[in-house]
């Protein structure tokens, strides 16, 4: 319709020119006709360009709709994948080189100072067993002494999310098998997932998730675990008795870009009747996170810590004293690849709570990608133990992953 209306002005101009052929047109009339032609030509080109733009937009929309419509026309089938029942497999390597100004020995009495080496290799396998449960198996080769490796199953458990014959009250889950006890915030992390190269001095199931009805931005998580007793510092022997661990965690989001959590953990291990008292360990941990709406994947801040204490013990001076331990951790994310932070540790030795150990650890982490990470650490230690007092250590850590990427630890912002 628009093209047809353009024909009438052109016809009018031609007729006007024919009528004027009998008399010589003046210069002003010629210029006026030329101006009209130029104006019509410009308007015509403008409209053609607008039509071409609309046509391109329509073609682009049709290309986007075509795959969806073709998929919708296909007969309804249950989506399947040849590897749906195969586990997602990850292989993680962790290399650490260290430089020390003093001799350092491990628990076996072997020197480990000024040594580079592969600290750990881990195979992580995860698979949905069926609609009701997920399975996890994590195996590792770990080196405590240079050149020597021990094989171990770090975790192997099934996580039952729901039961086919009953609705899970309050989101109850069952975790059965071998897993890291949920005591505090950092104990559940594997070595390669730590925010620093070494664990802090402080940290050398049935699960309920309850959204709080009075506040949609908060929740409470309660966890009870029945564990094999022993194999921890406060209770090294199993005594053929089970141990029990409880954890209650409260989480809240506020102002949209901030969240905080605080938790209480208790570990109880009954001793043999008449021989060993019950071993008890209690702890409080907290974590604050800031993540802005804008640049949410490039900026973040963390501040957290843990405080632990156990029963009173008798010191060599025959006094009763309760050992304490605390760690404070802070981290800033500069951009997508760079993190920097610092950790402060304080702990009383269990054998003699009058002996104290302290350390300060600044660090810098750099992500080449989510599969390759480089970290630099420096640690200075103050200690009443002469062998480690005023120790300075520098660690260079390289962590790599190939295969399926496992879940990121809480301190990573991706």
Please report, rounded to a whole number, the percentage of residues in the chain having pLDDT higher than 90. Answer: 39
Summarised one tens digit per residue, pLDDT across range 151-204 is 999 999 998 887 777 766 666 788 888 888 888 888 888 899 999 999 888 866
Task: Let me know whether 54 and 173 are in one domain.
Answer: no
Give dist(CA 350, CA 245) in Å, integer.
Answer: 20
Query: Among 196-200, 236-240, 242-246, 355-359, which is the least confidently predicted range?
Result: 236-240
Give dist(CA 385, CA 395) in Å, integer.
Answer: 22
Task: Let me know whether 37 and 104 are in one domain.
Answer: no
Say which residue, 301 or 272, is predicted with more confidence.
Answer: 301
Check pLDDT > 70 for residue 215: no
Task: Let me know whether 260 and 347 are in one domain.
Answer: yes
Task: Let me know whether 47 and 101 are in one domain.
Answer: no
Check pLDDT > 90 for residue 397: yes
Burial of 206 (0-12, 13-18, 19+ CB in 10 A): middle
pLDDT average, residue stretch 46-52: 76
Check pLDDT > 70 for residue 373: yes
Q: Give me the domain span that covers residue 56.
A: 2-21+28-62
For residue 156, being part of any structural domain is answered with no
- Other C-beta atoms lying within 10 Å of the C-beta of residue 90: 19
Please, what is the end-to-end C-alpha distance for the chain in angstroms? 55
Task: Let me know whether 358 and 235 are in one domain.
Answer: yes
Summarised one tens digit per residue, pLDDT across range 73-86 is 444 444 444 555 68
Q: What is the pLDDT of residue 102?
A: 94
Average pLDDT value for the chain: 81
Summarised one tens digit per residue, pLDDT across range 257-272 is 899 999 999 999 887 7
Task: Let me know whether 51 and 188 are in one domain.
Answer: no
Task: Let me know whether 169 and 36 are in one domain.
Answer: no
Residue 257, both tokens? 């870009």
Summarised one tens digit per residue, pLDDT across range 84-112 is 568 899 999 999 999 999 999 988 889 99
């Amino acid at each position: 319709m628009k093209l047809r209306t353009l024909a009438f002005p052109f016809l009018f101009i031609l007729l006007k020119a024919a009528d004027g052929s009998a008399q010589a047109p003046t210069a002003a009339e010629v210029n006026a006709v030329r101006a009209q032609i130029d104006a019509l030509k410009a308007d015509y080109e403008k409209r053609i360009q607008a039509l071409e733009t609309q046509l391109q937009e329509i073609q682009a929309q049709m290309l986007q709709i075509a795959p969806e419509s073709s998929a919708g026309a296909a007969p309804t089938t249950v989506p399947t994948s040849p590897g749906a029942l195969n586990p997602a497999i990850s292989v993680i390597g962790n290399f650490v080189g260290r430089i020390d100004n003093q001799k350092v020995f491990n628990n076996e009495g072997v020197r480990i100072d000024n040594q580079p080496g592969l600290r750990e290799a881990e195979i992580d396998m995860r698979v949905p067993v069926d609609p009701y449960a997920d399975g996890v198996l994590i195996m590792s080769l770990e080196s405590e002494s240079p050149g020597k490796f021990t094989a171990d199953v770090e975790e192997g458990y099934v996580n039952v999310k729901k039961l086919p014959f009953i609705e899970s009250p309050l989101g109850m889950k069952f975790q059965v098998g071998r897993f890291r006890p949920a005591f505090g915030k950092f104990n559940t992390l594997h070595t390669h997932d730590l925010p620093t190269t070494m664990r802090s001095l402080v940290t050398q199931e049935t699960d309920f998730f309850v959204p709080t009805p009075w506040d949609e931005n908060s929740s409470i998580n309660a966890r009870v675990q029945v564990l094999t007793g022993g194999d921890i510092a406060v209770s090294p022997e199993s005594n053929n008795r089970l141990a029990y661990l409880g954890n209650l965690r409260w989480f809240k989001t506020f102002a949209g870009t901030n969240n905080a959590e605080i938790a209480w953990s208790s570990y109880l291990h009954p001793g043999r009747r008449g021989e060993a008292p019950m071993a008890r360990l209690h702890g409080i941990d907290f974590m604050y996170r800031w993540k802005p709406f804008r640049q949410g994947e490039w900026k973040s801040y963390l501040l957290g810590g843990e405080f632990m204490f156990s029963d009173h013990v008798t010191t060599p001076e025959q006094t009763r004293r309760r050992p304490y331990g605390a760690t404070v951790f802070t981290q800033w994310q500069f951009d997508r690849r760079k993190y920097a932070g610092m950790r402060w540790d304080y702990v009383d030795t269990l054998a003699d709570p009058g002996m104290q150990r302290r350390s300060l650890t600044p660090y810098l982490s750099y992500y080449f990608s989510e599969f390759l990470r480089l970290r630099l650490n420096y640690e200075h230690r103050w200690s009443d133990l002469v062998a480690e007092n005023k120790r300075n250590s520098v660690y260079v850590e390289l962590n790599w992953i190939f295969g399926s990427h496992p879940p990121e630890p809480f301190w990573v912002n991706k």
